[in-house]
């Protein structure tokens, strides 16, 4: 491991940290250490990182801004690559924009709305990165990434890179091909439309207000925990089962929205996992519905 750290530092690929607590890098403020955490300072550096990691036959994982993520209390083995600064570029070409995978989705939606560009209104309160949003086909308020993505620049495990057109992304509800054929969304080309700035910002503000009124963003959380088993809604099923407010250790099913689990101060990943299992068991008994998690679980 020390040899790998030395190689990465000598390659000058960006920030390289040893035994970095991942609780510092997740929105729910939970997670044990990464053996090595790297924040590449460019896409070229990211390619170098993967080359070195593969030459050392080390395990590797990527994260973005840490939303929609639950990291084990034991941390993550090997190398964790964090897409952030260095992969957060933005280029505008009329109604098409090229944006780095590490760019903040909230920031992007705000900038585009101020320019009167429509299409990202749904993303105004989603606290993740563009790359993570493409990976998960993030969405809200009746729209999602599949509605605006033209193509994605993807780096695969074997080091190969390709542009995938929207029709090749196999988008469905909170799903893309990147979950089946693991890859990193380095960049995305999004197709927006010129619209009325005032009406766009008005819609975005309503979306933000709705989130503030209905979702517990005043506490550390990872976002929606379960996928909606349509035509049912996860939050409604959990609430009607009497589980709102249920706590295990420092983790609690939110009193505000039952599809959120919040960290009340000292929650462990195991507390969250135990709550998830309670929900799954209860909903299965009450409604014969198998609940699937939306939050991605990583680590030992």
Q: Which of 82, 100, 135 is the last residue of a domain?
A: 82
| Number of compact structural domains in the chain | 3
Q: Say yes or no: 45 and 151 in one domain.
A: no
Q: Which residues are catalytic?
A: 174, 224, 294
Q: Are residues 232 and 293 in the same domain?
A: yes
Instruction: State which of 61, 82, 103 marks the end of a domain.
Output: 82
Closest listed residue to residue 296, CA positions, set 274, 280, 277, 273 = 273
According to DSSP, the residues that pair with 118 across neighbouring strands are 193
Residue that terminates a domain, selected from 21, 53, 82: 82
Tens-digit pLDDT string for the chain (300 aa): 899 999 999 999 999 999 999 999 999 999 999 999 999 999 999 989 999 999 999 999 889 889 889 999 999 999 999 998 889 999 999 999 999 999 999 999 999 999 999 999 999 888 889 999 999 999 888 899 999 999 999 988 777 889 999 999 999 988 999 988 888 899 999 999 999 999 999 998 888 888 888 888 789 999 999 999 999 999 999 999 999 999 999 999 999 999 999 999 999 999 999 999 999 999 999 999 999 999 999 998
The CA distances from residue 76 to 3, 18, 68, 270, 294, in Å, are 18, 12, 16, 15, 20
Claim to verify: residue 178 and residue 250 sit in the same structural domain:
no
Is there a cis peptide before residue 93, judged by omega within 30 degrees of 0? no
Q: What is the pLDDT of residue 249?
A: 97
Instruction: Please name the residue ranges forming H helices in the chain.
Output: 2-11, 43-55, 105-114, 130-136, 197-214, 234-240, 269-287
**Tokens 């080309």 — which residue?**
189
pTM: 0.88
Residues 202 and 231 in one domain: no
Total count of residues recorded for the chain: 300
Please give the pLDDT value at position 137. Answer: 94
Which pLDDT value is given to residue 235?
A: 97
Same domain, 225 and 151: no
Parallel, antiparallel or unpaired: strands 193-194 and 117-118:
antiparallel
The CATH number of the domain where 61 resides is what? Answer: 3.30.43.10
Q: Which of 284, 272, 277 is nearest to 241 (CA)?
A: 284
- SS3 percent helix, strand, coil of the chain, rounded to 5, is 35, 30, 40
Whichever domain contains 121, its CATH number is 3.30.465.10
Residues 141 and 113 in one domain: yes
- 48 and 96 share one domain: no
Q: Are residues 34 and 15 in the same domain?
A: yes
**Domain identity same for 118 and 199:** yes
Give the pLDDT confidence score for residue 91 in this predicted structure.
96
Cβ atoms of 16 and 36 within 8 Å: the answer is yes
What contacts 24+ positions apart, CB below 8 Å, involve 273-278?
273/70, 273/297, 274/248, 274/249, 275/246, 275/247, 275/248, 275/251, 276/225, 278/243, 278/246, 278/248
Judgement on whether residues 164 and 125 belong to the same structural domain of the protein:
yes
Residues 201 and 220 placed together within one structural domain of the fold: no
Q: Which two structure tokens, joined as six digits, stand for 266?
A: 């000292």
Number of alpha helices (DSSP H) and beta strands (DSSP E) in the chain? 7, 18
Write out the two tokens for 153.
Answer: 């620049």
Range of the domain at 50: 2-82
Q: What is the reported pLDDT for 209? A: 85
- For residue 261, the domain's CATH number is 3.90.78.10
CB-based contact 62:34 (threshold 8 Å): no
Do 206 and 245 lie in one domain? The reply is no
């Amino acid at each position: 491991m020390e040899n790998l750290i030395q190689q990465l530092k000598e390659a000058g690929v960006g920030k390289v940290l040893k035994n970095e607590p991942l609780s510092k890098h997740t929105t729910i403020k939970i997670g044990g250490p990464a053996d090595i955490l790297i924040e590449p300072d460019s896409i070229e550096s990211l390619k170098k990182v993967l080359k070195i990691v593969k030459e050392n036959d080390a395990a590797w994982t990527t994260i973005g801004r840490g939303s929609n993520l639950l990291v084990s209390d034991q941390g993550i083995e090997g190398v964790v690559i964090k897409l952030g600064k260095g992969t957060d570029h933005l280029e505008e070409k009329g109604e098409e924009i090229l944006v780095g995978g590490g760019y903040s989705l909230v920031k992007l939606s705000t900038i585009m709305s101020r320019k009167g560009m429509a299409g990202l209104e749904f993303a105004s309160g989603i606290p993740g990165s563009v790359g993570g949003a493409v990976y998960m086909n993030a969405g809200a308020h009746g729209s999602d990434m599949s509605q605006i993505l033209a193509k994605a620049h993807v780096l695969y495990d074997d080091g190969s890179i390709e542009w995938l057109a929207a029709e090749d992304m196999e988008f469905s509800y909170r799903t893309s091909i990147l979950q089946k054929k693991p890859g990193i969304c380095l960049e995305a080309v999004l197709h927006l439309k010129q619209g009325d700035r005032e009406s766009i910002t008005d819609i975005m503000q309503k979306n933000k207000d709705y989130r503030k009124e209905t979702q517990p963003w005043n506490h550390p959380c990872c976002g929606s925990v379960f996928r909606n088993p349509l035509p049912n809604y996860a939050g409604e099923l959990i609430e009607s089962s009497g589980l709102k407010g249920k706590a295990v250790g420092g983790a609690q099913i939110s009193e505000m929205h039952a599809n959120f689990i919040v960290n009340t101060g000292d929650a462990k990943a195991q507390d969250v996992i135990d709550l998830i299992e309670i929900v799954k068991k209860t909903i299965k008994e009450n409604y014969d519905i198998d609940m699937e998690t939306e939050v991605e679980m990583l680590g030992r």
